[in-house]
Amino acid sequence: MPTQHSRTRNQQRRVEWAAIALTLLALVAWLSAPSALPRTNHLVQDTGLRLVSRPPQPGIAVIAVDDRSIGVIGRWPWRRALHAQLIQNVSHQAPLVIGMDVLFNEEDLDYPEDDLLLTDAVARSGRVVLPVMQRQGPYEPGDGADRPMPALEQAAARLGHVHVATDEDGVVRSLYAREGPASAPWQHFSIAMRCVATPSLGGCPPARWSDPPADGARWERAGRRLIPYAGGPGHFTTYSYIDVLRGEVPADAFRGKYVLVGSIAAGLGDMFATPVGQESRLMPGVEVIAQVLDADLAGVHIHSAPPALNMAFNLLPVVLALLALLLLGPFAALLTSIALGALALALAVLLPAWSGLQFAPAAALIGLVLAYPLWSWRRLSAAAQFLRLQMENLQRQGLVIPLRGPAASTGDFLERRINAVEYASRQLRDMHHFVSESLQQLPSPTMVCDTEGRILLANTAARRHLLGVAEVEGDPMVWPLQGRQIADVLGDLIDIATEQPLVTPERLGS
């Protein structure tokens, strides 16, 4: 039956648990903010992208300006007549769209007729998308963009920006769907290609704005999107530029496909660190565009989980771990905490592919790592305090226990308490043996009971008197009377004066 002291200890344990739980949950809630613990969250999220890859869409083809083509044609930049010939060769196969990830923002003063050839090839194709970029460097009049030459821009089916968003660790994980002057932004290059391939696609703005933006208009970005990478560098069907130029590709290599033209050669064009780049391999900008296009065609989209949902995702496993610490044993609680951490990691890795939501689990992992040590520290402190009080109580009752002095100076704090308990237990065993021997020597039947009338000890004379047995197996002081009620054992004793039972629960209670 619980004593007042045990009830007090249980109440104190719950108060300590509540204090630790509130403190830890407040910390986890604070660390669940989107900007908190970016390195740990990116590590988990990037692992998920690498583990959950998918095959490339067959409708995407990349024409690569590679080292082999440069070795055959010569140093970059090449004559624009070559690009015109390439566009003609690809257009003959009736592709859905051609995305030229090459910026032609200045006239070719050495070969001006090449500009005419390129403009004519783009206009005849009618399915060419050209890039636009934010101008870097000193201020110049205009909309702040590096864009194709006016004649080439008019010939293109659409323009699209090719920027990506680089995180603080230098890795590209997202982009903006729209960039440019607020009054006339450009869509991302991949979206522009889809608008050309599928004119009925919803959300496509006009190919050209009727009112050009004013000079000095502020460059703005909107519609941040996470990139659900399908695989690492070289994931898509790729043809060498020189092979396409020579016509050394299958006759239907580009029929009905999204065709991207861009550089993958070392030192030429944009190269980006990505979550799926292994062994420090960088991904060319043209392949990043292909990744975004692939995700759109596959209907795969990833969004950051709303802050409230992300906070709940982090708090739930910590709450369950705290309940396990309160209700289960130490080992079971430890296993539960480990299992919850593994589950949180697995969900953070798999949920983007299953639900399209990306969670940041670092806060939950920190909460799970801290919960068990904090609770163990408090329970250890409470146990040490309880042992100290019990030892002092035994000392006050006359038991000699070396809590201080040279005899108790070895070992750490907990070891000294354990040694004191061991010493006290040894003294109590000796005392019990002494009492037992003394009780056995009494010639009269003698029994020792607790306050509720249960028999704790009985000597040989008592067993002989009550049971007619003197020698039994086991402890001669206990078996077989231990635990029986004294009122039941001595119920046949009658008070001669009152003719009432001599031993009753009422008399024992009084």
Q: Looking at residue 361, what is its pLDDT?
A: 93
pLDDT over threshold 50, residue 50: yes
Among the listed ranges 13-17, 185-189, 404-408, 481-485, which one has the minimum average pLDDT value? Answer: 404-408
Q: Looking at residue 58, what is its pLDDT?
A: 93
The pTM of this model reads: 0.73
Q: Looking at residue 413, what is its pLDDT?
A: 59
Query: What 3-state DSSP class applies to 234?
Result: coil
In this predicted model, which residue has the larger pLDDT, 324 or 478? 324
Q: Looking at residue 1, what is its pLDDT?
A: 47
Alpha-carbon distance of 211 to 183, in angstroms, equals 8
Q: Looking at residue 46, what is its pLDDT?
A: 87
Answer yes or no: are the C-beta atoms of 70 and 76 closer than 8 Å.
Answer: yes
Q: Looking at residue 401, what is its pLDDT?
A: 56
Q: Looking at residue 104, what is its pLDDT?
A: 92
Q: What is the mean pLDDT of residues 341-353?
A: 91
Q: Which long-range contacts (CB under 8 A, 24 or more apart) does 460-463 make?
A: none
Query: With bands split at pLDDT 50, 70 and 90, how would you rate the model's confidence at 49?
Result: confident
Q: Looking at residue 340, what is its pLDDT?
A: 94
Query: With bands split at pLDDT 50, 70 and 90, how would you rate the model's confidence at 13?
Result: low
Q: pLDDT, tens digit, for every residue of 285-302?
A: 999 999 999 999 998 998
Residue 145: phi and psi, rounded to 5, are -120, 145
Q: What is the mean pLDDT of residues 320-349?
A: 89
Answer yes or no: are the C-beta atoms of 249 and 61 closer than 8 Å.
Answer: no
Query: With bands split at pLDDT 50, 70 and 90, how would you rate the model's confidence at 109?
Result: confident
Q: Looking at residue 477, what is its pLDDT?
A: 46
pLDDT over threshold 90, residue 434: no
Query: With bands split at pLDDT 50, 70 and 90, how would you rate the model's confidence at 355?
Result: confident
Q: pLDDT, tens digit, for every residue of 469-496?
A: 555 554 554 456 777 777 777 777 777 7
Mean pLDDT of the residues in the chain:
82
Answer yes or no: are the C-beta atoms of 162 and 131 closer than 8 Å.
Answer: yes
Q: pLDDT, tens digit, for every residue of 154-189?
A: 999 999 999 999 888 889 999 999 988 877 789 999
pLDDT over threshold 90, residue 123: yes
pLDDT over threshold 70, residue 142: no
Supply the DSSP string of 137-188, one letter for each residue. Answer: SS--SSSSEE---HHHHHHSSEEEE---EE-TTSBEEEEEEEEEETTSPEEB
In this predicted model, which residue has the larger pLDDT, 383 or 87? 87
C-alpha angle 330-332-338 in degrees, rounded to nearest 5: 100
Q: Looking at residue 10, what is its pLDDT?
A: 63
Query: What 3-state DSSP class applies to 258?
Result: strand
The pair of three-digit structure tokens given for residue 54, joined into one six-digit string: 């998918």
State the pairing for strand pair 219-226/455-458: unpaired
In this predicted model, which residue has the larger pLDDT, 3 or 237? 237
Is the sign of the CA dihedral 22, 25, 29, 31 positive or negative? positive
Alpha-carbon distance of 265 to 246, in angstroms, equals 19
Q: Looking at residue 60, what is its pLDDT?
A: 95
Alpha-carbon distance of 335 to 386, in angstroms, equals 27
Q: What is the mean pLDDT of residues 407-411?
A: 53
With a pLDDT cut of 70, the percent of the chain lying above it is 79
Q: Looking at residue 446, what is its pLDDT?
A: 81
